[in-house]
Structures are given as structure tokens and as C-alpha cells.
Chain A
Amino acid sequence: METYFLEDNNIIEFYARVAKEYELYVPTRAPSSLKVKCEHSFILPAQDYLLKKFKDIDKKEIVFNGYRPIEPARSFFTRPKEEICEYFGRNENPPAEKPAAICGLKNCDLFSLKIQDFIFLGGDEPDRFYKARRENALIIAGDCPAFKESCFCRAFDIDPFVTEGFDFNLAPITGGYIIDVASDKARKLMPSLKSLLSSASSSQIGARELNRESVVKHLDEHLSYHKIPKKETLQKIVLGGYNSQIWTDEMRTCVECGGCIFMCDTCHCFLLYDEPNSKRKRVWDGCLYKNFMKVAGGANPLRMRYMRLRNRYLKKFDFFISNIGFQACCGCGRCIDVCPGRIDIRRILRRLHEEHKGAQNVPAH
């Protein structure tokens, strides 16, 4: 991996050159509808970020996002709704698209892409749409110099800066960015980018490390109030809490809007449906919806709301841990921000853990 320095006033030009080869998405500020205040008196930013097409916007709109954008990373690889094929005519081929360069993804997003990859690239047959987009995409990740009230990556030992799975990484320091060039895809762009970069001095790299340490420290302190159980206990507490009253309790305020499943970075479920003209579409779907698992005969394993919430946790913390060895939750907190019922995954996990400890007399960590 090569490391350079990019001056502040060169960043737009850097983007412009990347945008020659890619459909570039860049972070912009988005007015936040929800101002979740920290109950533990931390002063935390409340604004949000949205990724927009570079070519469509006034360049003054572009910012460096302090933490993840509103939209989940997966939305660049499977669309919330798209046409898959038309039977028995047009074949099932991904549309010809300019490959995407996605700037502003964070480490939580990259962690989630491992789960999406397992589902859409793995199995007996990879999903052609996902594969084409994923393989062609350029990921320009970024450090998190800040975090939101809902961020809890570190609770699961995921750092707020990237270590793998990216092409470029930007880390803001005084006067500009430390930029890592981490893949052949990124190196291929170097001839056109090199003139914008200078070598990074060891004190600049040192500054990045200091920033990283300080955000980790601050985030850990914030999370210490939430008492989120360690990732090693997740499967045990969710399975152990199968018959817990917590699921029912927590679902009292759910209005079944589906926000949490659609904003989730790791959710992958979808529905195939056909239009009268025999066009087959795929839409995102999820287990917070009542008929998700209903069979034609009428049986519905998710007929009650508590079953749906529990199913979601079983999928994330039992199914995935059994199948790939880690949980399908990256701590991005999008489900917390979106939920009109204020249903909070941090609280549910903490309650499950407390109940489990109470039942098993397991000492706290």
C-alpha cells in the first residue's frame, strides 16, 4: 500500500479526474430530520450526509463526511427496486452502467460488504447484477474523524477507520488528506492523479494515527454508557433469549414501516415479483414485514411482531455467526436513526445480555 498527501485545494480536482473513468458519488451535507441527543451528555454532531453524483452537483456542496452517509453501502450494488429480466424474452443481464466510484464509505460499511459478498457472490451461483457492480466499483473510503450518537462499531471491535476492502482511503489531517492507494484498481488511476499528490511525511502520518486514537478513545467512552455486549456473546444471548419477554416489550412501538430493514447495511433479503407484462422485478424485502415467511397454505412463522424482531436478531447473530463466523451487524446505527418507534438495537442487546447474565449468573465482562 502506498501513502501520499493530498492538499485540501486539490481534492475537487482529484474527484474530477476519478470521475473521468467512473460514475463518482461524493458526500454532501444533508439536513437531518432526527436530532438524537446523547443521553450521557456527549456533545455529538447531529448532521447527516448523502452521497450524490459528482457530475450532477455544485462542487461547493461536497464535504468530507465525518461518519457514514445515510444510505447503506449495499444500495450501490443491489438497487431497492430493479428489473431483473423479462420472460421469455430479454435475458437476465445487468444493464450496461458506468462503474461506480463510491466516496464516503466508512469501515462499518466495508464490514457489511463482507456479508453482502457472502450472500451475493457466494453460494452455488453469484448474483450477476451484484457481481458486475461490485467487481467494477472503486471504493474511496474514509476515516471517521467524528461519530454519531448512534455509531457503535467499536462495540463489536470494528474500528472507525479502514484496514481492508478499499481502493483508496482518505484521512483528513491539517491542510489536506493522507491518501492510501491500496489496490491495482486504484493504482491504475495513478498516472492521472500523481501530479496532485505529494509524499506523506512521517509527521503527517503520525497526525493521522493521533486522530485515529483520539476518536477511538472518545467513541469507547461514549459506548461505555451503552453497555453493549461483546460480539463473542451475541449468539448465546440471542438464542438464550428466544423465549424472552424482551421481544414483545420492544416491539410495542413498532409501526411496521420497514425502515430498519431498508436502512440496514447488512440486510440482504429481497422479493422477486412479476408485473402483468412478464417483467420480473426485484425489490428489497425484510422480516419486519408480516408476510415475509408466510407460505401459500397460510402458515406464518412470523405472524406476531415479536417473532419478526426475534427473527431479525436470529438471522444477524445466529445464522451469520454459524455460517461465516461473525455477526451481521456492523454498528453503523442506521436502524436506530430511522426508527420512528425508537427501537434501539443497543438497548435490546444490552437487555438480552442482562437477562442472560441474570439467568446464568455469568459475570460481566
Chain B
Amino acid sequence: MYQPIEAIIEDVKQETSSIKTFILRPKSNFSFQTGQFIELTVPGLGEAPFTPSSDPAIKDRLDVTIMNVGTVTSALHGMGKGLKVGIRGPFGKGYPLDNFKGKDVLIVGGGVGLAPLRSLLYSLFSDINKFNKVVLRYGARTPDDIVYKELIPEWAKKDKVDIATTVDMGNPSWTGNVGLVTTILKEAPVDLNNAAVIVCGPPIMMKFVTLKLIELGFKPADIYLSMEKNMSCGLGKCGHCRIGKYHACKDGPVFSYEQLKDIYDIWD
């Protein structure tokens, strides 16, 4: 339960200056549900939690999109093709796809938070008839910070899919929207009364997006948040990930805002 299985880095893709996607081939098949997380081990250094960004239908490969922010991630960023890492999991409760059926699915992502949402998008696309529509609103700091630059236009071409991106700060070649992602939520073509909203991004972005959604009239029970905590064991034992009466690793990492709204300081 605490021992990782071996996986080989098959390829590394540079997404932005500080974000890379690692394509991993586990030694044995590895299944996960979209939104569940794994613990990724850099041998001899330690583990850190990540949510895979690949299509859960693929069992022999796993993509993890990682920003260089800490000890484990910076070691990973120094690793290339052919090297060995460890994976453990999957852990926790992922996105409750069944609750999204027949609804307008609004997905709000910020920065590297689009990683778990990519796996969610793949799951939705593969069963698109079950959902009314999929609306993605994505914000990044600058145009260079946008991840999956060549995938987003592909997704936008799909039937029943509506995508808009925005950046906090533009640059001379950026012709798109400039402003926080909260500013492009109001126009999102979503029926308030028949919606599921999924939010993933840095804590501060999740906070303001959630407050904005509530202000727009979305119900707390229809808003789903991926909570970033300092997960370690993944099994509800090590205690590092408590939020109120929950262990995020076991009861989350995906929570409805209804579950969290009465807990103090959830955005800390």
C-alpha cells in the first residue's frame, strides 16, 4: 500500500517554461477514474501527489502534467526519457460523472489546473451524448502559460463543445480575451438550473471562481472542486490532508462546494 510500482518515462513534453507533461508507461496496467490522484515517486527522493491528465480509458499509459514548484517536481523536471519513476494509487474519489449526465457541464480551469480537467474532458468526450454540452472556460497568467496549446483548438472543433480562454496579461501577439477567468463566466452559455460546474486551479482562483459562481446563482451542490492538499499516504491514515471532517485523499480530492462551504479557511 505504501510501495510504488515501477513506471518508465516514455516521453516528456514541454508545455510552458515551467510545466511539462510526462508520459509514463507503468510496468503493469494501471486504471484510474478521472479526478482521482496518484502518488508519484522520484526514486531515492520521495513522493508527491498528482492527478493524471490522460484519458482514463488508456490503461497502459499515463500522462502527468507537472509544474516545477517543489523538491519532487524540480527533480522530475530534470528527468528524461527512459528513466524510472514509481507510482502508487489511484486514490480518492474522482469526478462523479453520473451526476453530470443530462446537464450543461461547465469546466473552469486555471493554469496547470487544466491538467486534471483534461482527463475529465476526455471522459466527457467519449460519452458526449450523455451530456447536454461541455463548456470550458480557461484562464492562464500569460499566453505562454497556457497548457495544451495545440489540443485546445482541436477540442473546440468538437460537437457540443464551447471553449473560451483568457489571460491575465496579454502580449503583442495575443488577440484573445484579457482578464481573470471570473470575467468570462457570466457569458458562459450554461443553464443555471441544470448545470454541473467543475473548478480546478490555484486556491486563490478557485476561491474567486466559486464566489463568482454563487453570485451568478449556481447552487453549492452543483459546484465541484478539486482540493489541493499535502497528500502523502493517500489512504486516510497519515493525517496530512484534513479539511474539516474529511481527509481529502479519501473523501476527495473532488468535493462539492456543498460539502465544504461551512468549513473555515478551505482556500488556505
B250 interface residue per 8 A CB criterion: yes
Known contacts being A296-B48, A299-B203, A319-B244, is A87 close to B86, with CB within 8 Å? yes
Contact status A277-B44, CB under 8 Å: yes
Q: Please report the C-alpha to C-alpha distance between residue A323 and residue B203 in the assembled complex, in whole angstroms.
A: 26
Q: Residues of A with Cβ closer than 8 Å to B?
A: 84-85, 87-88, 91-92, 119-120, 122-125, 127-128, 242, 268-278, 280, 282, 285-287, 292-301, 311, 314-315, 318-319, 322-323
Residues of B within 8 A of A87 (CB): 3-4, 6, 41, 43, 86
B45 touches A295 (CB 8 A): no
A294 x B1 contact (CB < 8 A): no
B5 within 8 A of A: yes
Question: Which A-chain residue is minimally distant from B239 (CB atoms)?
Answer: A269
Contact with A along B217-251 (1 / 0, CB 8 A): 00000000000111011011111111011000010
Interface, chain B (partner A; CB < 8 A): 1-6, 41, 43-48, 67, 69-73, 84, 86, 202-203, 228-230, 232-233, 235-242, 244-245, 250, 264-265, 268
**Do A301 and B43 touch across chains, with their CB atoms under 8 A apart?**
no
Question: Is the CB–CB distance between A299 and B268 below 8 Å?
Answer: yes
In Å, the complex CA distance between A25 and B2 comes to: 29
Q: Bound complex: CA of A262 vs CA of B268, how far in Å?
A: 26
Q: Tell me the complex Cα distance, A123–B264, Å.
A: 25
A124 and B69 alpha carbons, distance in the complex (Å): 31
Which residues from chain A contact B241 at a C-beta distance below 8 Å? Answer: 293
Cβ–Cβ < 8 Å partners of A127 in chain B:
1, 235, 237
In the complex, the answer to whether B232 meets A272 with C-beta atoms within 8 Å is yes
Q: Is the Cβ of A278 less than 8 Å from the Cβ of B43? A: yes
Chain B residues near A276 (CB, 8 Å)? 44-45
Which 4 A-B pairs rank lowest in CB-CB distance, beginning with the nearest? A296-B70, A269-B239, A322-B245, A301-B268
Contact A297 B202 (CB under 8 A): yes
Residue pair A298, B236 in contact (C-beta under 8 Å)? no
- Residue of B3, B71, B232, B236 near A92 (CB, 8 A) is B3
Whether A124 contacts B250 by the Cβ 8 Å rule is yes
Expressed in whole angstroms, the minimum distance between the Cβ of B227 and any Cβ of chain A is 10
A91 surroundings in chain B (CB, below 8 A): 3
Distance A85 CA – B2 CA, assembled complex (angstroms): 8
Q: How far is the CB of B81 from chain A (nearest CB, A)?
A: 19
Least distance between A214 CB and chain B CB atoms (Å): 39
- Beta-carbon nearest neighbor of B204 in chain A: A299
Chain A residues with CB under 8 A of B69: 296-298
Name A300's closest neighbour in chain B (CB-CB): B268
Residue of A nearest to B84 (CB): A88
A297 to B227, CA, bound (A): 13
Q: Contact at A296–B237, with CB atoms within 8 Å?
A: no
Within the assembled complex, what's the spacing in Å between the Cα atoms of A125 and B238?
13
Contact present for A323 and B229 (CB under 8 Å):
no
Enumerate chain A residues within 8 angstroms of B73, measured Cβ to Cβ. Answer: 296
Q: Which residues of A contact B239 (CB under 8 A)?
A: 268-270, 285-287, 315
Q: Contacts of A123 on B, CB cut-off 8 Å?
A: 235-237, 250
Contacts of B2 in A (CB 8 A): 84-85, 92, 272, 280, 282
- With contacts A293-B240, A295-B230, A296-B70 known, is A84 near B44, CB below 8 A? no
Are B3 and A280 neighbours in the complex by a CB distance under 8 Å? Answer: yes
Q: How far is the CB of B259 from chain A (nearest CB, A)?
A: 12
Question: Within the assembled complex, what's the spacing in Å between the Cα atoms of A268 and B242?
Answer: 13
Q: Which of A286, A296, A297 is the most central at the interface, judged by chain B CB atoms within 10 Å of its CB?
A: A296
Residues in A whose Cβ lies below 8 Å from that of B233: 270, 272
Q: Are B1 and A88 in contact (CB under 8 A)?
A: no
Residues of A close to B47: CB separation below 8 A: 272, 274
Report how far A120 CA is from B230 CA in the complex, Å.
19
Q: Select which of A275, A278, A318 is within 8 A of B244 by beta carbon.
A: A318
| CA distance in complex: A321, B244 (Å) | 11
> How far in angstroms is the closest Cβ of chain B from A326?
14
* Contact A268 B237, beta carbon cutoff 8 Å: yes
- A35 CB to closest chain B CB (Å) equals 33
Nearest B residue to A91 by beta-carbon distance?
B3
Q: Evaluate whether A269 and B240 lie within 8 angstroms (CB atoms) in the complex, with A84-B2, A88-B6 already known.
A: yes
Residue on B nearest A84 in the bound complex, by CB: B2
The reply to whether B245 and A269 form a contact with Cβ atoms under 8 Å apart is no
Cβ distance B70 to chain A, nearest Cβ, rounded Å? 3
Chain A nearest CB from B251 CB (Å) reads 10
Residues of the A chain whose Cβ atoms lie less than 8 Å from the Cβ of B244: 314, 318-319, 322
Contacts of A84 in B (CB 8 A): 2-3
Cβ–Cβ contact B238 & A285, under 8 A: yes
Give Cα A292 to B238, complex, Å: 10
